[in-house]
């Protein structure tokens, strides 16, 4: 067993913390990417709903004129 693999030494503890941090950063990057994808879907749907709302308002104005 190498000293670097022994997590009771200072170097081993640093190595283990670095591994944990690296894994944590990777997880957070994936989560952030998923959040951004969902956010893009949300804003696209919101934009479509706004367009539908504008169209409905225009149609209502036309009906009021008649």
Domain map (residue ranges) of the chain: 3-65
Mean pLDDT of the region 20-33: 96
Q: What's the confidence (pLDDT) of residue 48? A: 98
Q: Is the separation of the CB atoms in 7 and 16 below 8 Å? A: yes
Q: What's the confidence (pLDDT) of residue 29? A: 97
Mean pLDDT of the region 31-38: 98
Q: Is the separation of the CB atoms in 52 and 46 below 8 Å? A: no
Would you say residue 37 has pLDDT above 50? yes
Q: What's the confidence (pLDDT) of residue 5? A: 58
Secondary structure class of 66 (helix, strand, coil): coil
């Amino acid at each position: 067993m190498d000293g670097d693999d022994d997590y009771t030494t200072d170097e081993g503890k640093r190595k283990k913390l670095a591994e944990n941090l690296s894994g944590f950063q990777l997880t957070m990057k994936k989560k952030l990417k998923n959040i951004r994808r969902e956010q893009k879907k949300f804003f696209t749907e919101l934009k479509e709903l706004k367009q539908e709302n504008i169209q409905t308002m225009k149609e209502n104005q036309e009906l009021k004129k008649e």
